[in-house]
Amino acid sequence: MNRYLAFDIGGTFLKYGVVAENMTVVETNKVKTPDSLEGLLRTMEEISHLNNEVKGVAVSCPGAVSPEGIIKGSSALHYLHGPNIKHLIEDRLNVPIFMENDAHCAGYAEFWKGAAKGKKDVLVMVLGTGIGGAVFKNAELHKGANLHGGEFGYMLLNSDIHDSNDVWSRVASTKALVRVVAERKNIAVDSLSGEQIFSMAEAGDADCLQALDRFYHLLAVGIYNLQYIYDPEVILLGGGISARENLIEKIDEKLDGILAVVDLAKVKPKIAACKFKQNANLLGAVYGWLKEFNRSKVASI
C-alpha cells in the first residue's frame, strides 16, 4: 500500500506525518516552525530524507494557495507570500507535490471518510484564532475568483463598521473569546486560554458564562447567514473547540432563538462537528494529492 508524507505548516509548529492510502496515519510528529523560508525548506528536506519511500508529498498551509503554487492573501508566516512555494518544495524534495490551504485540507478529510462523506453541498468552518473554512459544491472544492472562497471570517455582522475588529473572526473566534474575558477581568490576554474559560464557566464564573453566551450567539448569527447564502446540506465545525461535547448543542439553541425572531426563516441550519481533529489537515492534504495525481484511486476508496 502506497504511503505519502504530509506536512501541515502552522504559525507555531510544522506538523508532519506518514499517511497510507487507507487513511491510516502511520506516524506523526512536529517541530517548531522555522523563522525563515530557507529554514522551512531545509527542515522539510531533512524530514523527507527520513521518509524516502513515500510516493508523494502533500502540504497543508495558511493563505490563499494559487494553482501555480504561489500563496496569496496573508498569514502569520510572512515569508510564505511572494515566491512560488510549491516549486521551491518540489526542487528540494524531488517528488510530486500537492499544496492547499489548511482549512480546505480539513474539508477534504471530511469528504474522504468524515462527516461530509456521501454529501454534495457542504460548508466546513474551522474555528481557532480566526474563522476559516471551505465551500464544497457537488463535492468539489470552490475556491472562488480571488481564491477567497471559504474565508468566512471576513464576514461583517454589524453595519456600524469602525475597523477590521468588526469582522466575524475578530468577534467570534476563540481568540476573541479570550480577549473579551481578559478585558472584563482586567488581566493580560496571554495569562488566559480558551480551555481555562470553559473550565471557569463550568465552575460558575459570571464573566466567562456571559462571554460564552455571547460567543455562541455570534457564531449562530454567522452560521445563519451562511445557510441562507449557500443553503448547504450541513455546516461542519472544526478546529480544537469542535471537540467540546456541548458546542453544537449551544449553537443550536441560539439558532432556535434567531429563527423564532426572524419568522421569515423556515430552514434551520444543520450543524455538526467535524470527525477529524488533530490530523485533519494531514489527511486532507493526502486526499488532495490523490485527487490531483491519482483520481482512479480516489474513486475506489
Domain for residue 133, yes or no? yes
Domain for residue 69, yes or no? yes
Q: How confident is the model at residue 100 (pLDDT cuts 50, 70, 90)?
A: very high
Confidence (pLDDT) at 299: 54
Q: Count CB atoms within 10 A of the CB of residue 242.
A: 21
Q: What is the mean pLDDT of the chain?
A: 91
Domain for residue 198, yes or no? yes
161 and 92 share one domain: no
52 and 136 share one domain: no
Residue-wise pLDDT tens digits, 138-178: 999 999 998 889 999 889 987 777 777 788 988 998 889 99
Domain for residue 159, yes or no? yes
Confidence (pLDDT) at 255: 97
| Mean pLDDT confidence for 17-29 | 89
130 and 48 share one domain: no
86 and 151 share one domain: no
| Mean pLDDT confidence for 16-25 | 90
165 and 82 share one domain: no
161 and 223 share one domain: yes
Residue-wise pLDDT tens digits, 232-259: 999 999 988 888 889 999 999 999 999 9
130 and 227 share one domain: yes
Domain for residue 111, yes or no? no
Q: How confident is the model at residue 295 (pLDDT cuts 50, 70, 90)?
A: low
Read off the CATH number of the domain in which 57 is found. Answer: 3.30.420.40
Residue-wise pLDDT tens digits, 186-238: 999 989 988 899 999 999 999 999 999 999 999 999 999 999 999 999 999 99
Residue-wise pLDDT tens digits, 42-69: 999 999 998 878 899 999 999 999 999 9
Q: How confident is the model at residue 277 (pLDDT cuts 50, 70, 90)?
A: confident
215 and 264 share one domain: yes
Domain count, the chain: 2
In this structure, the strands spanning 234-238 and 140-142 are unpaired
Confidence (pLDDT) at 297: 59
Residue-wise pLDDT tens digits, 74-94: 888 999 999 999 999 999 999
147 and 204 share one domain: yes
Q: Which domain holds residue 237?
A: 118-273
